[in-house]
Structure 1
Amino acid sequence: MKNRTNEKTAWIVTGASGHLGNVLVRKLLKQKEQVTGLLLPGEKPPVKGMRTVYGNLCEKESLRPLFSSGEKTVVIHCAGCVSISSYDGLKLWNTNVLGTRNLVELAEEYGAAKFIYVSSVHAIPEREGGAQITEIRNFNEDLVVGDYAKTKAVATRYVLREAASGFPACIVQPSGLLGPYDMGAGQMTRMLRLFLKRLLPAAVEGGYDFADVRDVADGILACCERGEAGESYILSGCYYSIKRVSAWDIRPGAKRRRCGIW
């Protein structure tokens, strides 16, 4: 966020050790910004130069050290729980819904200048026949499938409700993330590594929209500067079939491709 005065902006990034979070931290530090990252106890800072706060979204008071009175603060809320298991409903609710509420309440208390909530395209109902989706204004958990999607829809609706009351918040909704610095080796990265190592000789039908995590991070930073309060923005890439992804490496005679820093 560009500053028209000499006032320094304090950046808060939750989920700073996650794939998207640590890419954002790297970009902000490269711009010489002052960054505070939220990590869970026991997690290692992803990069030097970041002020670290250890806490848990479910414990509101553990989040208070993220904030300082009198500072111009921008909050990017990346942290969340991702799961397709039918046994993680309570954990998903506590982290994605109650945790988001805890952070928003503190951001309101300390007068944050901007709050970016990283939601998900899964909070948007799918259209018949796989038709292309677009941004929506009304989020209804009853129209999406799975506890993860439902909790993201509820949390998104809550943030937008606060924005309607004057809270300077907007929403970004990324699709599947691929790219470097996935230190935790998320599901997408693990799948790609298995393909590249030829450990998955078969591919299933279907596919997904993948976006480069660096592009998504740039989109979020642009949203910090130009995003309008109460709006949501899809940050997507291109649709790739699983077969196409697998063909990058498992075609007969194909050379193995290195993942580099992925």
Structure 2
Amino acid sequence: MNVCLVTGANGHLGGNVVRALIAQGETVRAGMRDIQNVDNFFRLNCQVVYTEMQDIDAMRKALEGVDILYHVAAVFKHWAKDPITEIVQPNVKGTEIVLKAAAEANVKKVVYVSSVAAVGHDGNYLDENSWNTLSNNAYYNSKIKSEQKAWELAKKYNLWMVSVLPSAMIGPHANRLTDTMQFIETIRTNKLLIDPHFFFNFVDVRDVAKGVVAATTKGSSGSRYILANNNSSSLTEIYNAAQSTGINLKAPARLPKWVIYFIALCAELAAKVTGKPAELIRSQVALFYGIRQEYEITKARNELGYEPRSPSEALRDVFEYLNGRESKL
């Protein structure tokens, strides 16, 4: 039995990793910034601890006696008034602080949660050898730079470390809706007004959590593992999944790229005035319009025993989860 610290435990993936570790019999510390927001953890056999990836002292305290660190916490948003100071710098600096504290605590293993954002996508099947070189989107830029910094520090501190790279995670136990989950919720509630012609690679968060946990026992230090599905989903496929759960929806019309780009520009300008996050930004249009997110996941399958449910099954499950979640609110 290991003592495990999960940062970002009240996030979507973090909460599912906590559950997967508890099911495996590990001693779990659920690390989070808001230790008052622990309703989801009352019935779980874990210790809630304060973690703040910008605070070295908080991380040192949380890591005392820890065997395995699962660094899940990260800023996950695409829009900000100041993307560099609100998204990029916190993720990169947080990586530096957390791994420094982990090295000082002599943890045995580190599982660093990156993202397929650091791999990129171009319509071809990309594997772990691919590194994204595009940086016009702040979130993508932050994940590229953060993972690169993590590998630099793992070498410097001689840490046993693997990185895992999830795609667009959907599924249960969402303390709050991530941008990905909010997109699905917008579809479920029939509020998506246009087809942005985006292709997302959806994966069930529970399958990702299992892959994250398996990485500590089956992974090889120094390795990257893509935790995604092979294929991405079109809006039509998302709507088909929703309709299979009994939701009556009609897919919106697809618009040309230049129109979507103009809508994104207007959304950004409005966000600057109102301070409310833009629901669509130009860098997302540039990244996603008409480009499939396809990944080669053979390495994770062979080494970690990773077997994700299909995108259609994951989508059906998330629509059913959101239907049930609404009834409890």
**Cα distance between partner residues in 2 of 1:201 and 1:125:** 27
Q: In structure 1, which of residues 30, 34, 41 is the aligned counterpart of residue 27 of structure 2?
A: 34
What per-residue deviation string (whole Å, max 9, x for no partner) do you get for residues 28-68 of structure 1?
A: 12233211111113551232322112232111111122122
Mark the CA change 1:80 to 1:104 in structure 2 (over 3 Å): closer, same or farther.
Answer: same
Mark the CA change 1:245 to 1:56 in structure 2 (over 3 Å): closer, same or farther.
Answer: same
**Cα distance between partner residues in 2 of 1:261 and 1:34:** 30
* Residue matched to 2:207: 215
Q: In structure 2, which of residues 83, 87, 93 is the aligned counterpart of residue 92 of structure 1?
A: 87
Aligned-pair CA distance for 1:176: 0.1
Mark the CA change 1:250 to 1:198 in structure 2 (over 3 Å): closer, same or farther.
Answer: farther
**Cα distance between partner residues in 2 of 1:261 and 1:182:** 12
* Residue matched to 1:3: none
**Cα distance between partner residues in 2 of 1:154 and 1:261:** 38
8 Å CA contact retained: 1:58, 1:94: no
**Cα distance between partner residues in 1 of 2:25 and 2:127:** 35
Aligned-pair CA distance for 1:190: 2.0
Are residues 1:78 and 2:69 paired?
Answer: no
Q: Percent identity?
A: 25
Q: Amino acid of the residue matched to residue 40 of structure 1?
A: R
Q: Amino acid of the residue matched to residue 66 of structure 1?
A: A
User: Aligned runs of 1:96-245 on 2, under 5 Å?
Assistant: 96-127=91-122, 130-136=123-129, 139=131, 142-165=133-156, 166-200=158-192, 202-237=194-229, 238-245=231-238
User: In structure 2, the residue corresponding to 1:207 is in which secondary structure?
Assistant: coil
8 Å CA contact retained: 2:201, 2:232: yes
**Cα distance between partner residues in 2 of 1:103 and 1:191:** 30
Q: Which has the higher strand share?
A: 1
**Cα distance between partner residues in 1 of 2:83 and 2:73:** 16
**Cα distance between partner residues in 1 of 2:127 and 2:239:** 28
Are residues 1:60 and 2:52 paired?
Answer: no
**Cα distance between partner residues in 1 of 2:212 and 2:196:** 32
Aligned-pair CA distance for 1:260: 4.7
What per-residue deviation string (whole Å, max 9, x for no partner) do you get for residues 203-230 of structure 1?
A: 3312110000010011111111111111
Aligned-pair CA distance for 1:110: 1.1
Q: Which has the higher helix share?
A: 2
Number of aligned residue pairs: 248
Q: Amino acid of the residue matched to residue 102 of structure 1?
A: I
**Cα distance between partner residues in 2 of 1:245 and 1:226:** 33
What per-residue deviation string (whole Å, max 9, x for no partner) do you get for residues 127-146 of structure 1?
A: 3xx22221127x57x53431
What per-residue deviation string (whole Å, max 9, x for no partner) do you get for residues 85-113 of structure 1?
A: 25222122332111111110111111111
Aligned-pair CA distance for 1:178: 0.5
User: In structure 2, the residue corresponding to 1:240 is in which secondary structure?
Assistant: coil
8 Å CA contact retained: 1:198, 1:250: no
